[in-house]
Amino acid sequence: HAKEQGRNNYQFFKQEMNDKVVERLSVENGLRQALARQEFILHFQPKIHFKTGLITGAEALIRWQHPDRGLLHPQQFIKIAEDSGFIIPIGQWMLKTACQQAKDWQHEGLRPIPVSVNISAVEFRHDGLVNNIRNTLAETEIEAKYLEIELTESTLVQDAKSTMITLHALKAIGVKIAIDDFGTGYSSLSNLRQFPIDTLKIDQSFVRDMINDDDDALIVSAIIGLGNNLNFKVSAEGVETQKQLAFLQAERCEEGQGYYFNPPVDAVAFATLLGTNHAA
């Protein structure tokens, strides 16, 4: 009866909490060792210019080759890395490896393209960020224009004043700046106009549903119109079908990425993609 059921629910709830705590601690402990043990790798997803089919960039996406659990994706550990502070050294490794990889591709004779790196709010608010980016560019001898920083809209709206200072410092270095997951973060129009940014990346949730959901279609059209009017490049995330591509092109979105073109792949596979990529 009710009382027993209540107790069972409570036991179940307690067990679930417990599992979560154990899971969290295990990930945290693993993260402690992961850099030293070289368990992180980067995958790269091409950004495609719709009209020509040319690769215009590579988004670096971190993966964790976990000794017991196989290949882990960022949503399985990035939040925990942020909360525990490990995101700072991981982000530094990530930035350096992405820049080094861009340089290596150039040395292989491949057409130079910008590499994009995701920076979380914790990293963006960290004092060392701007210096670290400057030093990493110098060390890896990458021209600043070949590095793009992706910041989510929710990161940018957190503290307008310090956000603006950091964005301008990054702009002064010469790196490109994209707003990731755009449309989900409630930035005001006036903020948006003032941000010294280059690209709006339409959040993939809108792209996923826009063919069947009029509201999402409207949002996508509005973001593209807004971006084009403010002279930002507009990029779509999560393009999976020909129908989605056709809609985006009809709305004058220039470029995007997604499984319709390519999933994220390792550095060797990416080099092959880039080496065989020619204007259609």
Report the residue from 12, 259, 275, 278 that binds ligand C2E according to the rule CB under 6 A.
259
Q: Which of residues 209-248 bind ligand C2E (CB under 6 A)?
A: 237-240
Residue count, binding to Mg ion (CB under 5 A): 5
What CA–CA distance (Å, rounded) separates 116 from 99? Answer: 9
Report the residue from 45, 118, 136, 235 that binds Mg ion according to the rule CB under 5 A.
118
**198 touching Mg ion, by CB under 5 A:** no
**180 touching Mg ion, by CB under 5 A:** yes
Check: CB of residue 172 under 8 Å from CB of residue 200: no
**32 touching ligand C2E, by CB under 6 A:** no
Residue count, binding to ligand C2E (CB under 6 A): 24
What CA–CA distance (Å, rounded) separates 42 from 62? Answer: 5
**199 touching ligand C2E, by CB under 6 A:** no
Report the residue from 150, 153, 216, 255 that binds Mg ion according to the rule CB under 5 A.
150
> Of 26 and 121, which has the nearer Cβ to Mg ion?
121
Three-state SS annotation for the chain: CHHHHHHHHHHHHHHHHHHHHHHHHHHHHHHHHHCCCCCEEEEEEEEEECCCCCEEEEEEEEEEEECCCEEECHHHCHHHHHHHCCHHHHHHHHHHHHHHHHHHHHHCCCCCCCEEEECCHHHHCCCCHHHHHHHHHHHHCCCHHHEEEEEEHHHHCCCHHHHHHHHHHHHHHCCEEEEEEECCCCCCHHHHHHCCCCEEEECHHHHHHCCCCHHHHHHHHHHHHHHHHCCCEEEECCCCCHHHHHHHHHCCCCEECCCCCCCCECHHHHHHHHHCCCCC
Report the residue from 74, 89, 112, 185 that binds ligand C2E according to the rule CB under 6 A.
74
Report the residue from 181, 216, 251, 255 that binds Mg ion according to the rule CB under 5 A.
181
**136 touching ligand C2E, by CB under 6 A:** no
**216 touching Mg ion, by CB under 5 A:** no
Span near Mg ion by CB under 5 A; candidates 98-106, 165-173, 233-241, 265-273: 233-241
Report the residue from 27, 31, 78, 167 that binds ligand C2E according to the rule CB under 6 A.
78
Site string for ligand C2E, 90-119 (x = CB under 6 A): -x--x-----------------------xx
Q: Which residues bind ligand C2E (CB under 6 A)?
A: 45, 61-62, 73-75, 78, 91, 94, 118-120, 150, 180-181, 204, 237-240, 257-259, 264
Q: Which residues bind Mg ion (CB under 5 A)?
A: 118, 150, 180-181, 237
